[in-house]
Amino acid sequence: MAISRRDFLCHGAGATAWGLLGGGLLGGGTAKGQAMNDKDSQTFFKVFPIGRIIKKKGQPVRLRIYQKYVPALKGLDGFSHVAVLYWFHKNDTPRKRGILQVYPRGDRKNPLTGVFACRAPVRPNLIALSVCKILSIEGGEVRIGSIDAFDDTPILDLKPHIPSMDAPGTGVRLPKWLTRKS
């Protein structure tokens, strides 16, 4: 990961939020949040990658699972889709972890929005989630249709997509900025 252990321990995962300087496309250029000071922010977890996303131009996207975790793939071939949890490793800096509000999709026409209300790659914990179509599973590789991730992105976990558990079905509400035609 891009953050050193020393920086992580000295500054914490919830570094003070100050946004991107100069009013960049991610935030408003001013502090929008507070440093985490309560005792809950001092709880740390160790998260270990289980594999890497292999994404090369002109080739199918592959989830390459580390050998020690390959037995955990047993039975996944019975599902059409998989939820992939991965780490936004290219944004792993205290500064980017501190950004709490952004213009969704980098578009200033969209309202300034909290990162918990959009899919911004900057957030206090850089966990990403994509539901992907499984094309095939061979050995320790899961071939998928597509994913919004970079090549060599660390995979944190895989979960089978179960519509009755994962999709609310009715009563879904979306903000206007997301449904607006550009």
Only one residue has tokens 């800096």, namely 93
Q: CA 162, CA 168: separation in Å to the nearest integer?
A: 11
Residue 24 in tokens: 């960049």
Q: What pLDDT, on the 0 to 100 scale, is given for residue 160?
A: 96
Residue 109 in tokens: 């026409």
Instruction: Kindly list the domain boundaries of the chain, sorted by start residue.
Output: 22-34+45-163
How do residues 14-35 score in pLDDT, each as one tens digit?
Answer: 332 222 222 334 443 333 444 4
Q: CA 85, CA 62: separation in Å to the nearest integer?
A: 14
Q: What pLDDT, on the 0 to 100 scale, is given for residue 165?
A: 87
Low-confidence residues of the chain, pLDDT below 50? 1-36
Are 181 and 102 in contact by the 8 Å Cβ rule? The answer is no
Q: What pLDDT, on the 0 to 100 scale, is given for residue 34?
A: 44
How do residues 134-162 score in pLDDT, each as one tens digit?
Answer: 999 999 999 999 999 999 999 999 999 99
Kindly state the helix (H) or strand (E) to which residue 82 belongs, with its residue range: strand 81-87
Rg from Cα positions in the chain: 18
Q: What pLDDT, on the 0 to 100 scale, is given for residue 40?
A: 66
**Fold adopted by 22-34+45-163:** Elongation Factor Tu (Ef-tu); domain 3 (2.40.30)
Give the global pTM.
Answer: 0.74
Q: What pLDDT, on the 0 to 100 scale, is given for residue 18?
A: 26
